[in-house]
Amino acid sequence: MAEISAGKAAEPARTQTRRERYDAAQRRRSLIIAAVSTLAVIAAIILLVPLAPGWEAVKRSFFNASVFERTFPGLVEAFLLNVMIFAWSAPMIALTGLAIALCRDVRAPALYPLRLFGALYTDVFRGLPVVLVIYLVGFGIPGLGLPRPYNNPLIWGTLALVLVYSAYVAEVIRSGIDGVHQSQRAAAASLGLGERDVMRYVVLPQALRAVVPANMNLFIALQKDVALLSFIGPVEIFRQAGIYKSLFANFTPYVGAAIIFLAITIPATRYADYLMHKQNRARS
């Protein structure tokens, strides 16, 4: 063994094996084909799209540089409200989702109503379009004639988001709980731990770790759906873009808003994918 490795060390410029030469040739080939095909598609788009009869009109109303310049800072400012709504909704959603998931896992017969509630809750709020819940909660509850600070659409819009998204988060967490192997529960129970301790110290920590990527995807979707609150009043980025659109009679502000959303969501999605990939690798 020692002699072989010593022999290797004495030969620094190792020649490629047959397999390595073949693999390198294959890689070069794939790279060239991919580059050529990508360039061909891009060239086709650049050449063909302007040939469309309405291209000049679309360019004026969607890609207007001066409108973009004048509205973009305002859009970024409005986006701060989205970020704020997201920032206070997300922890509420995480906690409510966890509570609902745990409701669905209780075994005691006295707590059966909780279980039933958990099941109903997830069924109802996953079964409704987000916009519909926002309308019903956002217009319905203030309609009860609530006094001043409590008729704020931000409160009720947030509640609507929490209702819908916690139902999804609850389902994701529950799948994580189900995914923890039975032998882990058996091992914990065999040490004399009670059911609650088994859940809290053994099952839940593993379940929550396993569902981090899935939950991240949900929170990315939430970041986008915050824009739906514009329907009940708050001037966040989507509504601000609408105001600019009317002001300038031009659709460019929507493109600006799209760019701002993508600047947040693309890195976040990539990161979630990376986490998912890492987890899959660790599992195999």
Partner 1 sequence: MSKLSLRGVRKRFGELEVCRGIDLDVGEGEMVCLIGASGSGKSTLLRCMNLLEPIDDGVILLDGEDIAEPGLDPAPVRQRIGIVFQSYNLFPHMTAAENVMLAPRRVKGLSREALKPAVTELFERFGLADRMGHYPDQLSGGQQQRVAIVRALAMQPEIMLFDEITSALDPELVGEVLDVLRSLRAQGMTMVLATHEMGFARELADTVCFLDAGRILEHGPPEQLFSAPKEPRTQAFLSRVL
Binding site for partner 1 (CB under 8 A): 183-184, 186-194, 197, 201-202, 205-206, 209
Q: How far is CA 169 from the centre of its chain?
A: 11
Half-sphere exposure of 130 (CA within 13 A, CB side): 21
How deeply is 173 buried, as exposed, middle or buried, from its count of CB atoms within 10 A (0-12, 13-18, 19+)? buried
Which of 207, 272 has the CB closer to partner 1?
207
Shortest distance (Å) from residue 149 CB to partner 1: 43
Nearer CB in complex with partner 1: 17/182: 182
Nearest approach, Cβ of residue 282 and partner 1 (Å): 9
CA distance 7 to 11: 7
For residue 147, give the 3-state DSSP assignment. coil
Tokens of 189: 């129970």
> Cβ 222 to partner 1, closest distance in Å?
27
**3-state SS class at 224:** helix
Q: What is the C-alpha to C-alpha distance for residues 32 and 39, in angstroms, rounded to an integer?
A: 11
Among 208, 111, 219, 212, which Cα is nearest to 168's?
219
Instruction: Assess contact for 275 and 213: CB atoms under 8 A.
Output: yes
Cβ proximity of 251 and 239 under 8 Å: no
Q: State the nearest-atom distance from the C-beta of 117 to partner 1, in Å.
A: 27
In the complex with partner 1, the residue whose CB is nearer, 113 or 205, is: 205
DSSP single-letter state for residue 201: I
CA distance 9 to 6: 5
Give least dist CB 209 to partner 1, A. Answer: 7
Min dist CB 195 to partner 1, Å, is: 9
Residue type, 191: L
Taking the least distance from each CB to partner 1, the nearer of 54 and 192 is 192
Q: How far is the CB of 216 from partner 1 (least distance, A)?
A: 19
Report the residue number, 214 or 226, with the smaller CB distance to partner 1. 214
Is 267:195 a contact under the CB 8 Å cutoff? no
Rank residues 188 and 227 by Cβ distance to partner 1 and give the closer one: 188
Is the CB of 189 or the CB of 268 nearer to partner 1?
189
Q: Determine the angle formed by the axes of helices 153-179 and 212-225, rounding to 10 degrees.
A: 160
